[in-house]
Amino acid sequence: MTYALASDISIRESAEGTFLVAPRPLRMVRLNGALLSLVRQMAEAPLSPASEGAARALEELAKRGFLQRIGAVEQTSADLPRVSVVIPVKDREEELRECLTSLSLIDYPAELLEVIVVDDGSSDGSADVARAFGATVLPSGGRGRGPAAARNRGAEAATGEILAFIDSDCTASVPWLRELIDVFADPEVAAIGGLVDGMYRSSALDRYEAVMSSLSLGKHERSGQGGDDTFYLPSCNLLVRRDAFRRVGGFRSEMHVGEDVDLTWRLRDGGFRIIYRPKGRVWHAHRSYLPAFLKRRFEYGTSEGLLQALHPERRKKMAFPPLLCGVLACCVVGLLAGGLSWFLGAAILLAADAVVIRSESKRPGFSLGFLQVIASRVRTFASLVYYLGFHLVRYYGVPLIALALTWPAAWPVLLIVVLWPAAVDWYVRRPDLNPAVFLFFYLSEHLAYGSGVFRGCMAQRTFASYRLQFQRRMPLVF
């Protein structure tokens, strides 16, 4: 793997030592002599670590966001593992044909590649299409047992040490496996997920799904091992070690949605590491009709109750820094009651928060500029409003509508709660849609998903999905 300094990262020297400083969010890490030497080399050009110890240290900095991974060591065929591609299918003859055509073109040695199609009781010619492409065809053991059961059936018959799961309504890019497979050189890594992109752009909903699909995890690499956060990998573009997959029992066959979340959480609980990399692209044929789109979002929402029952330790977390919460409270009261004095109070509290953060970050011979800290805290406050608004709209959309209808004075606050998260997502994700159309799909999606969450929680008789785990703030790293 080759590493380089991430964008906006600066090297700051002081009497106490040398630090890497990241502005968004504001954080820093002190470097020892060995790391400082490597970082200075990376300031000149990307660096491939020469030892296992250096690789571990640089990987840790990459996890924290101070470095970016920009490439892997080129692998020869002798280094590559055998891969079994597993595809569940039910009545998707034409989609499967496109999927298998793409797999016939991928850049991977044919002698190290096995394609297994598991037919879940199709009434069309899906099985014949698979055989025509030379794939191994297996029955799922019934009709409509679901993709989780079908994937487990394929994994049982697989001979590759790596299982590569892709859905029948997806197509793979030529470098799909090559861009992901190198992570398995690390024995702690059990699974990696790649980029999921939208296959079509013709309709407005296609363009919305291209940037907002829950299958797409974004532009930045992530990893997780242990812990109690909710990071997971979607199963439509997922590579897993066969031994690790079998050790945790594979997918739960009874789950028809959320089974990929459950699997990757169990891998993490078992001590393995999972990685998301925005490479190894797979194109997914998203649901492009509004009723089907909303039905699927509702179904996704129903999985939360069961997932919470299966993994009670995994909770949604949100940072609520005390002083910034005071800023938020002043702004809310100012909007509801009027009066500039409340907003003046908010400004004073924001300045006080910046003073506290600057004081905590100060070291002998080293301190951050006050304006730099103020700018960072303004961004943190904007993030607080975004995440709080997102949570309220997603999980309390119907009560918010009822409140708006019965309490007109709350409209200014409710508009910010609704519009700010949508505006941020529209600006950051840059969909090829005008803001009004984006907002319609955005709110429709949240209402459908939130309704599904309520249905799933009712079925499981638990409402833990609605509870947040509060944190005072994310600490600066030294």
Q: CA-CA distance, 231 to 223, in Å (whole number)?
A: 8
- Contacts of the segment 260-266: beta carbons below 8 A, 24+ positions apart: 260/232, 260/233, 260/234, 260/235, 261/230, 261/232, 261/303, 261/307, 262/307, 262/310, 262/311, 263/235, 264/191, 264/232, 264/233, 264/238, 265/232, 265/307, 265/311, 265/314
Q: What confidence category does residue 344 fall into, taking pLDDT thresholds of 50, 70 and 90? A: very high
Longest dimension (CA), the chain: 74
- pLDDT class of 478 with cuts at 50, 70, 90: very low
What element of type H or E holds 437? helix 435-460
The tokens describing 244, both together, are 């690790």
Q: In the chain, what are the domain boundaries?
A: 2-71, 83-287, 318-471
Q: What is the pLDDT of residues 458-473, one digit of tens each?
A: 999 888 888 877 776 5
Q: Is the pLDDT of residue 213 over 50?
A: yes
pLDDT the model gives residue 270: 92
Q: Is the pLDDT of residue 477 over 70?
A: no
pLDDT digits (tens, 9 = 90+) for 138-183: 999 888 899 999 999 999 999 999 999 999 999 999 999 999 999 9
pTM of the model: 0.84
- Asked if 193 and 237 touch (Cβ cutoff 8 Å), the reply is yes
Higher pLDDT, 75 or 428: 428
Neighbour count for residue 231 (Cβ, 10 Å): 17
Residue 365: pLDDT band by 50, 70, 90 thresholds?
A: low
pLDDT per position as a tens digit, 83-127: 999 999 999 999 999 999 999 999 999 999 999 999 999 999 999
Reported as a pLDDT band with limits 50, 70 and 90, residue 438 is: very high
pLDDT of residue 190: 96
* Burial class of residue 63 (count of CB atoms within 10 Å of its CB; 0-12, 13-18, 19+): middle
Is 364 a residue whose pLDDT tops 80?
no
pLDDT the model gives residue 71: 59
Query: pLDDT confidence of 31, banded at 50, 70, 90?
Result: confident
Among 20-24, 62-66, 273-277, 429-433, the range with the most confident prediction by mean pLDDT is 273-277
User: Do 314 and 199 form a contact (C-beta atoms < 8 A)?
Assistant: no
Assess whether pLDDT exceeds 90 at residue 229.
no
Structure tokens at 307: 């997932």
The pLDDT value recorded for residue 373 is: 87
Q: Among candidates 176, 32, 45, which has minimal Cα distance to 104? A: 176
**475 or 241, which is more confident?**
241
Q: State the pLDDT at residue 142.
A: 84
**Nearest-angstrom CA–CA distance, 316 and 307:** 12
Mean pLDDT value across the chain: 88
Query: pLDDT value at position 257?
Result: 92
pLDDT at 366 over 70: no
* CATH architecture for segment(s) 83-287: Alpha-Beta Complex (3.90)
* In the predicted structure, residue 400 carries a pLDDT above the cut 60: yes
Mean pLDDT computed over 378-388: 91
Rg (CA), the chain: 24
The yes-or-no verdict on residue 72 having pLDDT over 60 is no
The dihedral through the CA atoms of 388, 391, 395, 398 has a sign that is positive
Q: Which amino acid is at 464?
A: A
pLDDT, mean of residues 237-258: 95
- End-to-end CA gap in the chain: 25
Give the helix ranges, DSSP H, for 311-434. Answer: 322-337, 340-361, 370-406, 411-429
Could you read off the pLDDT of 282-291 as tens digits, one per residue? Answer: 999 988 889 9
